[in-house]
């Protein structure tokens, strides 16, 4: 079925004129009709508009237009509800944005469109990307395609579930503390968080501006490299984007990893790590040795502080970023007798419980008298965490860890206990604090029930080429990425 194909498989079929973009798009829409009533990955989509984009592509192809330099020509790609797509709803899975329609495209979206993609659909997420299970959406749960009683991870749960259930060919998500890699691991797809500054954040609704990055969800590593190449690059509309050259990431996937050094951090293979996950990661490490990589034990001594530091910095930045949602400029409004009453009624009614918790925490850590004790100290420890990684990267080319401590948990299991929820990001958060890149890819399954397990690779700042080369070599030597959920509900 066309909706099950990867970007590269579908592009090859288009090139041979075996199928049309309309057929590929229709296959995704049919799959959505068939399974999304149970999965609920999509908040909304416009089928007619998607098919119109597909027809435009088919017309171009029939007139002899080439796909050269347009690696995404005719590829249906769905988008997390935090990224601006012109004339489409933008809600961040929150009630506070009301009926807001985006007046412009995010830079990453502009680039997808320029590369020929069919950009369609709004994917469910935790409200304002705050969460690890997609249970914080104001618009209902998304279910894990491997077991619909379980969560798909978060905050980009809709993006991961939609790719895993073959409702689109690829999707975009965002990652502030693990929100691409963690759901990718729990749904069995490939999720990439690029180096901070690699992809412009223009048009991404900010949660924590010093941590947020946009990245792809795909069915294999090659597609991840393709999407990264399309979206990367400096952008004058985001001053934190970096003018590093954009290599040909796909060309780096040559399978030759002989002699590359992979660091295994001793701090990551302990504590609450599920034994089945540990066994899968151990097996992956052995596989890397077989493929010719050298495994080196490393230490990241400040790992224990990462979750605490993250929840100070991320909440502080969130409290500032979310101040703009006050009922005046965007979205929903609850009237009041004076501006203060209007603000507080609008925000009281518009934000969910987790978002309020974060705004309150963030306002507290920034308040006079506490700023030095919390925020400033967290910034200093953040530097220590980054230095741990930079030191490790003096001796290794990439780092290998589990992506998550457990496989997908049951809906409701952790939603009453924020701290337990926060701990599900324990292996992904440091990467954002350090500003480096990371990718999660399938490396096995738990037995009963059968749930995907993710392997995380962490790369040097702007070291995506080597990291993806390593990910690809492992992937191609195993068959984990080819497994599909049965979707028999």
* 80 has catalytic annotation: yes
Distances (CA, A) of 72 to 80, 190, 231, 439: 18, 18, 11, 21
Cβ 52 to ligand GLN shortest distance, Å: 32
Size of the site for ligand GLN (CB under 6 A): 13
Q: From start to end of 98-212, where are the E strands? A: 118-123, 170-175, 190-193
Q: Which residue is nearest to ligand GLN (CB)?
A: 179
Residues 454, 145: Cα–Cα separation, whole Å: 15
Which residue from 178, 402, 442, 459 is in contact with ligand GLN, where contact means CB under 6 A?
178
Which residue from 91, 107, 176, 401 is in contact with ligand GLN, where contact means CB under 6 A?
176
Residues 310, 432: Cα–Cα separation, whole Å: 9
Residues 155, 137: Cα–Cα separation, whole Å: 9
**Residue 309 touches ligand GLN, criterion: CB under 6 A:** no
Count the neighbouring beta carbons within 10 Å of the beta carbon of residue 257.
Answer: 22
Q: Quick check: 4 and 218 in contact, CB under 8 A?
A: no
Stretch that binds ligand GLN, among 128-136, 220-228, 268-276, 457-465 (CB under 6 A): 128-136
**Residue 171 touches ligand GLN, criterion: CB under 6 A:** no
Q: Is 172 helix (H, G, I), strand (E, B) or coil?
A: strand
Stretch that binds ligand GLN, among 24-32, 170-178, 365-373, 398-406 (CB under 6 A): 170-178
* 241 has catalytic annotation: no
Residue tagged active-site, from 20, 159, 179, 224: 179
**Residue 179 touches ligand GLN, criterion: CB under 6 A:** yes
Which residue lies nearer to ligand GLN by CB, 84 or 284? 84
**Residue 454 touches ligand GLN, criterion: CB under 6 A:** no
**Residue 145 touches ligand GLN, criterion: CB under 6 A:** no
Q: Is 461 helix (H, G, I), strand (E, B) or coil?
A: coil
Closest by Cα among 474, 388, 398, 387 to 438: 398
Cβ 76 to ligand GLN shortest distance, Å: 24
Cis preceding-peptide flag for 359 (omega within 30 of 0): no
* 86 has catalytic annotation: no
Give buried/exposed letters for 385-399 (b at 16+ CB in 10 A, else e).
bbebbeebbeebbbb
Distances (CA, A) of 448 to 146, 208, 410, 453: 12, 37, 14, 13
**Residue 425 touches ligand GLN, criterion: CB under 6 A:** yes
Write the DSSP symbol of residue 444: E
In the range 198-217, which residues lie near ligand GLN by CB under 6 A?
A: 207
**Residue 306 touches ligand GLN, criterion: CB under 6 A:** no
Stretch that binds ligand GLN, among 98-106, 171-179, 241-249, 284-292 (CB under 6 A): 171-179
Site string for ligand GLN, 378-417 (x = CB under 6 A): ----------------------------------------
Residues 174, 281: Cα–Cα separation, whole Å: 25
In sequence order, the 6+-apart residues with CB closer than 8 A to the CB of 477 are: 287, 290, 291
Which residue from 121, 157, 158, 177 is in contact with ligand GLN, where contact means CB under 6 A?
177
Which residue from 41, 83, 106, 129 is in contact with ligand GLN, where contact means CB under 6 A?
129
Stretch that binds ligand GLN, among 173-181, 260-268, 274-282, 399-407 (CB under 6 A): 173-181
**Residue 130 touches ligand GLN, criterion: CB under 6 A:** yes
Residues 41, 240: Cα–Cα separation, whole Å: 31
Distances (CA, A) of 262 to 60, 82, 298, 399, 480: 45, 34, 9, 5, 21
The catalytic site residues sit at 80, 155, 179
Summarize as ranges the residues that interact with ligand GLN (CB under 6 A).
129-132, 155, 175-179, 207, 314, 425
């Amino acid at each position: 079925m066309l909706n099950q194909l990867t970007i590269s498989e579908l592009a090859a079929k288009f090139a041979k004129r075996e199928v049309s973009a309309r057929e590929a798009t229709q296959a995704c829409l049919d799959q959505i009709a068939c399974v999304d009533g149970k999965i609920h990955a999509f908040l909304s989509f416009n089928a007619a508009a998607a098919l119109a984009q597909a027809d435009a592509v088919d017309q171009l192809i029939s007139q002899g237009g080439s796909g050269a330099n347009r690696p995404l020509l005719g590829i249906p790609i769905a988008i997390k509800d935090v990224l601006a797509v012109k004339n489409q709803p933008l809600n961040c899975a929150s009630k506070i944005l009301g009926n807001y329609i985006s007046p412009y495209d995010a830079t990453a979206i502009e680039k997808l469109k320029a590369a020929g993609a069919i950009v369609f659909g709004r994917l469910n997420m935790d409200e304002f990307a705050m969460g690890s299970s997609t249970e914080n959406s104001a618009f209902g749960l998304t279910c894990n395609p491997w077991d619909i009683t379980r969560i798909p991870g978060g905050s980009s749960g809709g993006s991961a579930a939609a790719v895993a259930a073959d409702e689109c060919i690829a999707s975009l998500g965002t990652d502030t503390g693990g929100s691409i890699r963690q759901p990718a691991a729990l749904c069995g797809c490939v999720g990439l968080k690029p180096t901070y500054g690699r992809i412009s954040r223009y048009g991404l609704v900010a949660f924590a501006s010093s941590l947020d990055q946009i990245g792809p969800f795909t069915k294999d590593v090659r597609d991840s490299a393709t999407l990264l190449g399309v979206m990367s690059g400096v952008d004058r509309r985001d001053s934190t984007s970096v003018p590093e050259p954009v290599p040909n990431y796909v060309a780096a996937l040559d399978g030759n990893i002989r002699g590359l050094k992979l660091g295994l951090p001793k701090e990551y293979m302990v504590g609450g790590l599920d034994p089945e996950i540990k066994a899968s990661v151990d097996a992956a490490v052995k596989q890397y040795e077989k493929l010719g990589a050298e495994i080196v034990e490393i230490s990241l001594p400040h790992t224990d502080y990462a979750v605490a530091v993250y929840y100070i910095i991320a909440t502080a930045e969130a409290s500032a970023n979310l101040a703009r949602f006050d009922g005046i400029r965007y979205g929903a409004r609850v009237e009041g007798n004076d501006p203060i009453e209007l603000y507080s009624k609008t925000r009281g009614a518009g934000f969910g419980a987790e978002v309020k918790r974060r705004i309150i925490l963030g306002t507290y850590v920034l308040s006079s008298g506490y700023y030095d004790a919390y925020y400033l100290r967290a910034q200093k420890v953040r530097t220590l965490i980054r230095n741990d990684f930079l030191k490790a990267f003096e001796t290794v080319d990439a780092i290998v860890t589990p992506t998550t401590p457990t496989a997908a948990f049951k809906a409701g299991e952790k939603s009453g206990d924020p701290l337990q929820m926060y701990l599900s990001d324990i292996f992904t958060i440091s990467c954002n604090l350090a500003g480096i890149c990371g990718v999660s890819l399938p490396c096995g399954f738990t037995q009963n029930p059968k749930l995907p397990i993710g392997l995380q690779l962490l790369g040097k700042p702007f070291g995506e080429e080597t990291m993806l080369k390593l990910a690809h070599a492992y992937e191609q030597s195993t068959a984990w990425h080819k497994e599909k959920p049965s979707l028999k509900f």
